[in-house]
Amino acid sequence: MKQPLNSELILHDQSRIIEMAWEDRTTFEAIEIQYGLDESALMKFMQSVLKPSSYRLWRKRVKVRSSKHQQLRVSKVTRAFCSTQYKISR
């Protein structure tokens, strides 16, 4: 089920979507599955929450990243995050 752009997304979700959008390994498809925002809706969302210069930097970055599209990824990449990304160092 698709969620409205940023009107009903709670602040934590907005922050996580922005984080996922900037991550190289997180695909547009993963964001769509988790939050119901396809690539065009994600672009509109990012444009509405980022400063214009930040949005331009993000668009420039994701345009050259084949890893942002599941079908364009190399087959050896099987996860959306680094294996050490969520480990707590002690």
Stronger pLDDT, 7 or 56, i.e. the higher one:
56
Global pTM value: 0.67
Mean per-residue pLDDT of the chain: 76
Residue 61, CA distances (Å) to 33, 58, 78, 83, 89 in order: 22, 5, 21, 23, 29
- Predicted confidence (pLDDT) at residue 89 exceeds the cutoff of 70: no
What confidence tens digit (pLDDT) does each residue in 51-82 have?
999 999 999 988 877 666 556 555 655 555 55
Average pLDDT over residues 17-26: 89
> Which pLDDT value is given to residue 90?
43
The CB density around residue 8, as the number of other CB atoms within 10 Å, is 8
> Which pLDDT value is given to residue 42?
94
